[in-house]
Amino acid sequence: MFAAAATHRRPASHTSLRGHLRRAAGRDHNPLCRPLDRAYSRLVTGVALMVLVTLVLAAVAALLVYRSEAHDAAHAARHRHVVTAVTTGPAQSDDPRAGSTREHAPARWTYPVGPGAGSIPVPDGTTTGAALPVGLNDAGQPVGAPRSNGLLVSDAVLVGVGAVTALGFGTEGWIALRRRRLDRRAEADWESAWEQVEPGWSGRR
């Protein structure tokens, strides 16, 4: 049974990519090369090209995201000013019911635009009257620290991987559809050729 299955299996192609390129361009002068073989070679070269384009587009998308976020982080850093704030109450969890580990405390500070007050992030267990650094924007409002370069790189990598995945699924679908059409074409050509050869081969002529 396995021997019979192996007999009908399409032989593996050992043609190099360069050979496929020559065949797809019509530069393979082998008399046994069929139009269907050239179609398969065009599929192979098309897949190689689409893989290359996918990687390039993913790299470009990742680079654009990184540069955009790095620009925003640099802009935020230029407009972030660190001053000393004094807490006016003890630290409290953001949401005790959710088991949050972040702590905030009310605080007051002085800034060129005038005195300010608000809730700032503090270490766990901070008591009233503690002096802590706080980042303020140009309007004197508390702002978080700019995102680290590691986080920017992580975002860019995620975008690149997402682009490769999305484009890869599209490429895979196109390959499967094109391969199915070529397989049907191969079967039709084989049946047509067999109809011409079979009578002589079987002796029915």
Read off the pTM. Answer: 0.61
In whole angstroms, give the CA distance from residue 86 to residue 93. Answer: 18
Per-residue pLDDT of the chain (205 residues; tens, 9 = 90+): 334 434 444 444 566 766 666 666 666 666 666 666 777 777 778 788 888 888 999 999 999 999 999 999 999 999 999 999 999 998 888 765 555 567 889 999 998 888 899 899 898 888 999 999 999 998 888 888 888 899 999 999 999 999 888 888 877 777 777 777 767 766 665 555 555 555 555 555 5
Query: What are the tokens at 10?
Result: 């399409």
- How far apart CA 95 and CA 180 sit, in angstroms, is 57
With b meaning 16 or more CB within 10 Å and e meaning fewer, what string describes 118-128? Answer: eebbbeeebee
